Chain A
Amino acid sequence: MPAGRTPVLITQLIYGLGGLVLFLIGIWSFLVHEPLLRKLIALNVMGAGVFHVLIAVAYRGLETIPDPVPHALVLTGIVVAVSATALALTLGLRLGHGDD
């Protein structure tokens, strides 16, 4: 078991930590940048970070099937993020932010 477990842990760790870094980059970019499009991209980067964490959580090694619950969460999360982004873009177009 220990021999098979080490690579799992490292992959999981890289994925999870990568997700956290993405989340932090997204938050920083959201707070610092003014244009709507950059804020929206920043929010989506944050979302991608959270999804990375969830996918890392789901991983249970090469022999076992992954945990389906976090996968379901990611799918729902993507749907929500897409709808929210679409609404924000529509509102932005109304304001004439289409160019930035």
Chain B
Amino acid sequence: MIDWLALAVALPLLGAVGAVMLPGRAPAIGLAGAVLTTSAALSVGLLVAQGTALRSDLGGWGAPLGIALAADGLSAALLVMANLVALCISVYALDYFGAGSRRHFWPLWLLLWAALNGLFLAADLFNLYVTLELLGISAAALGALTGRPEAVGANLRYLLVGLLGSMTYLLGVALLYAGLGTLDLKLAAAALTPGPLAWTVFALMVGGLLLKAALFPLHFWLPPAHAQAPAPVSAALSALVVKAAFYLVLRLWVDLFGAVTDGGAATLLGALGTGAVVWGSWRAFRAERLKLLAAYSTVAQVGYLFLFFPLLAEAPATQRQDLLGAVLLLALTHGFAKAGLFLSAGLLQKAAGHDRIADLGPSIQGLPAVALAIGLAGVALVGLPPSGTFIAKWVLLSSAIGSGQWWWAPAVVLGTLLASAYVFRVLANAFERGPRHGSLHDARGELAAAPVSIGRLAQAVPLLMTLIAVAVLGLEAEPLWDLLQARSP
């Protein structure tokens, strides 16, 4: 029997080593690693979809000394999303990087990928810490890849803030081990009882992770770091790395602290989420550059994810599954849509030489496939039907009103309005008069006439991703709910 869980972590690591040893062939090795890793992740997803959660003790060493990997519905769904998005980013990156940064990009990128898969599959709290740190280090290194002072400065800050967050998380882990004598998620959850220890551990671990998940007002490091990174890296940071920290908060909330949290902590998370939705959307609306707009939009979307916590805390068991499905759907949709938006922004930036929204008209009209991708990403970010976001927001709103917590609704409405405003601000450029590069309707002619040669494959990638966000996840969301049923082995 093949251990797909171990392969999903080992394959990208092997690829990273290969790309370091043969820098001349880094793109080929990287792409091969990407395809193999994604296949392993898809296999994990398919196995979990058959109804049983997976678990594997590496090298036959069980808890507490061994390293265990596990996948249930929640982690399998995020794993599959992350790997599909990462595969798309890899294909796009083939074209994007010049000969100089190529040899640095691929090893770091595969390392980040290994950390990401390890984080989704880790079954104990310390391995979560190690993967979290690996993720932070490789993400900051990738973000600073251009070497421009602004990028290096922003990502240095990202690195330091990430270290602060993970040190705080680690102290929580240490105290938990002091109190319970175990690091395994399942064993710890069974042993944890409400009391000062549980609350301290909860505050330290979740507090550290909120810093990494960039929940308002701890989001200050995100916009510059994400906006300054190269486009494929921005896509990975915004769509996947932030999502990993959110996954951890959700995982700890549901699996570890389920019995010891009360409504107060959930309400606090909801209130911070409200702030994130309003402030992030407003700053995205006011942003002058496309990548900064996309980064602030991530701040807002993280806010929506945290709005689910107060509802989860109050919901009866029957509704919990619905809410978990909805928050998962929102995270998956945002993953595809935001990565697609950043990759589109990268193409526009290449074509125009800048990403000032006000002056993007000619380039956006010269690249209709990119304009369509931005439009579709916008549909998903605003939450128009049939995108996955629409279903998620529908569940969010109906659950908020149904459970008498109507006060979460105005922020959702305001955030949605602001989102449509910032999306249309970008799209308005596509409909300005006097296109410079031929007619807007003749897509084929447009591609040929694009000023900087931008490969068709690179244009097709963001289009495909945003299509998945809008059509596939919106119309075929039901298997996700079935997948969540496979929670305990």
- Which residues of A are in contact with B by a Cβ distance under 8 Å? 16, 23, 26-27, 30, 36, 39-40, 43, 46-47, 49-50, 53-54, 56-57, 68-70, 72-73, 76-77, 80, 83-84, 87-88, 91-92, 94-95
Contacts and interface: CB of A to CB of B under 8 A. Distances in A.
A36 B133 contact: no
Interface string B118-134: 00000000100110011
B183 A69 contact: yes
A88 B65 contact: no
Contact of A87 (B140, B153, B164, B183): B140
Contact of B153 (A39, A50, A95): A95
A16 B141 CA distance: 34
A84 B137 contact: yes
B352 interface: no
Contacts of A53: 171, 174-175, 178
A96 to B, nearest CB: 8
Interface string B406-434: 00000000000000000000000000000
19 contacts: A26-B167, A43-B167, A47-B170, A50-B170, A54-B177, A56-B178, A57-B174, A57-B178, A68-B65, A69-B65, A70-B177, A72-B65, A77-B129, A80-B130, A84-B133, A87-B137, A88-B156, A91-B140, A95-B149
Contacts of A84: 133, 136-137, 159, 163
Nearest to A69: B64
Interface residues of B, number: 32
Contacts of B156: 36, 88, 91-92, 95
Contacts of A46: 164, 167
DSSP class of B's interface residues: helix, strand, loop or mixed? Answer: helix
A30 to B, nearest CB: 6
B174 A94 contact: no
A39 B157 CA distance: 10
Given A47-B167, A76-B126, A80-B133, A91 B178 contact: no
Contacts of A30: 160, 164
B152 interface: yes
B167 A50 contact: yes
A43 B163 contact: yes
Given A84-B159, A84-B163, A70 B65 contact: no
B130 A91 contact: no
A92 to B, nearest CB: 6
B155 interface: yes
Closest 7 CB pairs of A and B: A91-B156, A57-B178, A53-B174, A80-B133, A46-B167, A50-B171, A94-B152
B152 A91 contact: yes
Given A68-B65, A73-B126, 5 more contacts: A27-B168, A88-B159, A91-B156, A94-B144, A94-B147
Tell me which of B167, B178, B183 has the highest count of chain A C-beta atoms within 10 A of its own C-beta: B167
Contacts of A69: 64-65, 177, 183
A40 B161 CA distance: 11
Tell me which of B140, B149, B177 has the highest count of chain A C-beta atoms within 10 A of its own C-beta: B177
Nearest to B183: A69
B170 A91 contact: no
Contacts of A47: 167, 170
A69 B130 CA distance: 15
Contacts of A23: 167, 171
Nearest to B150: A95
A43 B161 CA distance: 10
A71 to B, nearest CB: 11
B160 A57 contact: no
B464 to A, nearest CB: 34
A95 B154 CA distance: 11
A42 B173 CA distance: 20
Contact of A50 (B149, B155, B174): B174
Contacts of B134: 80
B101 to A, nearest CB: 15
Given A54-B177, A76-B130, A91 B155 contact: yes
